[in-house]
Amino acid sequence: MSDSPAPSPASPAFAGDLAPDEFRAAAHAAVDWIADYLESATQYPVKSRVQPGAVRAALPAAPPVHGEPLEAMLRDFRDTIMPGITHWNHPGFFAYFANSASYPGILGELLAAGLNANGMLWVTSPAVTELEQLTLDWLRQLMGLSDGWFGEITDTASVSTFYALAAARERAGYDVRRQGMAGRADMPRLRVYCSEHAHSSIDKAVIALGLGHDNLVKIPADDSFRLRPELLEAAIQDDLAAGYRPLAVVPCVGTTSMTSVDPVPAVIRIARAHGCWVHVDAAYGGVTAIVPEMRYLMDGTDDADSFVVNPHKWLFTPMDCSVLYTKHPAALKQAFALLPEYLITRTQDDTVNLMDYGIQLGRRFRSLKLWMVLRAYGAEGIAERIRFHCELAREFAGMVHFESGGWELTAPVTMSLVCFRYAPAGLTEEVIVRLNAAIMERVNAGGDAYLSHTKINGRYTLRLAIGNIRTDRVHIDAAWTALRAAAAAESVPA
């Protein structure tokens, strides 16, 4: 028996929600299921094996006319949806940038769903705004950055970077917000610079802001895959001579393909000399600053104008949670704030209203999960976990390096990503591509590990990214065993 009173509808037509006891029972079952799932995720193949269209085809094409019991939904979830899931929470997930939903993060999501608070304005749920601001200030402190940073949560780094470049454009002084950019004689071409290894989200931001993809200048990198500052300077000089206006530079701490780290201090010196905004893409690598001995990787970022870091990547926080920090919140407001009559509030001038700092009005209570993660592990617990992942990466790199017979590392290990491939002597690049693609397919089909690939300066490369809170040595060993077995099984043409 529940302690809750039964709902007492005022009108005979009152439909209301399901009975609280029905929810309670189903929710308890769901939580039990989640705990079992996370404890035994290795029973599933990491990468889903369903064929395209299979999940959809297995479910009714039309919605039910009459309501169905929660039980039936949970059954379909287990039997039909689950086979179509690729298990990011599996400790053998090493593709892209591995992430994980930790228990405290899941609890935060659950509570946020229960509250369904919308933090579009301070007044529409003061705790949503204030906890977001507080949590992001905690995260800033954990990363050893100075105060004076304003943070806001967005869904992804792609959106965070878009916002940063929108603020940079507005701050450049062309009143684009009001006048747009088309057909203006007073408007030079605005140029944005990043390394040749920058993430495609920079390209997308430039495209979406109407700056024109041709105006994103990709600067060549050195042998360690770091943007070359002297070539940045040269590109800016060329652009100035051509009458363009350098707008922003986007160095990266932890590039997607190989986690290289651009020389942020040198980039900032050049950018400052030309009045450019500096936005650091630390979507993946930013959290290394929480580990005291790795903090140097974020050197210089404290002097930037903005940066992005994604707790939903390597900070054990469930999707989605990206953080944009800027020293110039007024520029974000200048780009985005609008106040229609229906959003005017009495406390407006005394409070932060997060709708002013981006496109979205409605705002999920995303900070709750991040706050719970930070509290549950503390600075030391987080550092320990990130440190361990880096240690595992170095160990795996050691196995590759010392294995005779054609395995090689293709980039230095700076964080928790290992780039490597199987390239026995005498094979052409074309054959190496086919061979490594086949090895990866075979390993991924095996179910114990899931890897992805990239190209580094034209060389096909496998990537093993460690970032899941449940990944341990045994999972790294299993991946290595599977890789070697796959290499042996693939016939190598003479």
- With respect to ligand PLP, which residue has the nearer C-beta, 168 or 432? 168
* 324 touches 311 (CB < 8 A): no
* Residue 217 C-alpha from the chain's centroid: 23
- Burial category of 244 from C-beta neighbours within 10 Å (exposed 0-12, middle 13-18, buried 19 and up): middle
**What whole-number distance in Å separates Cα of residue 57 and Cα of residue 82?**
14
**What whole-number distance in Å separates Cα of residue 33 and Cα of residue 257?**
35
**What x-and-dash track marks residues 356-395 binding ligand PLP by CB under 6 A?**
----------------------------------------
**158 binds ligand PLP, rule: CB under 6 A:** yes
Residue 236: helix, strand or coil by DSSP? helix
* 281 touches 304 (CB < 8 A): no
**What x-and-dash track marks residues 249-278 binding ligand PLP by CB under 6 A?**
---x-xxx----------------------
**What whole-number distance in Å separates Cα of residue 240 and Cα of residue 17?**
63
Q: Where are the beta strands (DSSP E) in 361-476?
A: 407-409, 417-422, 452-456, 459-465
Q: How far is the CB of 154 from ligand PLP (least distance, A)?
A: 9
Q: Calculate the alpha carbon distances from 271 to 44, 380, 450, 458, 480 in Å.
A: 49, 35, 40, 29, 43
Size of the site for ligand PLP (CB under 6 A): 15
- With respect to ligand PLP, which residue has the nearer C-beta, 252 or 479? 252
**142 binds ligand PLP, rule: CB under 6 A:** no
Write out the H or E segment, with its range, that includes residue 30: helix 20-39
Q: Tokens for 191, please give them.
A: 């140029």
Region of 156-164, 228-236, 348-356, 374-382 interacting with ligand PLP (CB under 6 A): 156-164
Q: How far is the CB of 9 from ligand PLP (least distance, A)?
A: 44
Candidate list 283, 294, 304, 469; residue touching ligand PLP; CB under 6 A: 283
Candidate list 48, 156, 351, 360; residue touching ligand PLP; CB under 6 A: 156
Region of 150-158, 206-214, 268-276, 469-477 interacting with ligand PLP (CB under 6 A): 150-158
* 471 touches 392 (CB < 8 A): yes
User: At residue 153, what are phi and psi to the nearest 5 degrees?
Assistant: -95, 135
Q: Which of residues 424-453 bind ligand PLP (CB under 6 A)?
A: none
Instruction: Report the chain's terminal Cα–Cα distance, integer Å.
Output: 73
User: At residue 274, what are phi and psi to the nearest 5 degrees?
Assistant: -115, 15
Residue 360: helix, strand or coil by DSSP? coil
Q: How far is the CB of 281 from ligand PLP (least distance, A)?
A: 5
* Residues composing the chain: 494
Q: How far is the CB of 60 from ligand PLP (least distance, A)?
A: 32
**What whole-number distance in Å separates Cα of residue 217 and Cα of residue 228?**
13
Candidate list 88, 97, 162, 371; residue touching ligand PLP; CB under 6 A: 97
Q: Tokens for 416, please give them.
A: 């928790």
**What whole-number distance in Å separates Cα of residue 426 and Cα of residue 442?**
23
- According to DSSP, the residues that pair with 261 across neighbouring strands are 253
**322 binds ligand PLP, rule: CB under 6 A:** yes
Cis peptide before 472 (omega within 30 of 0): no
Q: How far is the CB of 169 from ligand PLP (least distance, A)?
A: 19
- With respect to ligand PLP, which residue has the nearer C-beta, 286 or 447? 286
Q: How far is the CB of 457 from ligand PLP (least distance, A)?
A: 18
- With respect to ligand PLP, which residue has the nearer C-beta, 97 or 422? 97
- With respect to ligand PLP, which residue has the nearer C-beta, 312 or 475? 312
**304 binds ligand PLP, rule: CB under 6 A:** no
- With respect to ligand PLP, which residue has the nearer C-beta, 74 or 456? 456
- With respect to ligand PLP, which residue has the nearer C-beta, 156 or 457? 156
- With respect to ligand PLP, which residue has the nearer C-beta, 124 or 255? 255
Q: How far is the CB of 159 from ligand PLP (least distance, A)?
A: 7
* 305 touches 280 (CB < 8 A): no
* 416 touches 392 (CB < 8 A): yes
Q: Which of residues 179-238 bind ligand PLP (CB under 6 A)?
A: 199, 201
Candidate list 135, 260, 310, 444; residue touching ligand PLP; CB under 6 A: 310
Q: How far is the CB of 200 from ligand PLP (least distance, A)?
A: 8
Residue 426 amino acid letter:
G
Candidate list 98, 120, 157, 368; residue touching ligand PLP; CB under 6 A: 157
- Burial category of 405 from C-beta neighbours within 10 Å (exposed 0-12, middle 13-18, buried 19 and up): exposed
Region of 83-91, 117-125, 154-162, 169-177 interacting with ligand PLP (CB under 6 A): 154-162
- With respect to ligand PLP, which residue has the nearer C-beta, 299 or 320? 320
**281 binds ligand PLP, rule: CB under 6 A:** yes
Site for ligand PLP, rule CB under 6 A: 97, 156-158, 199, 201, 252, 254-256, 281, 283-284, 310, 322
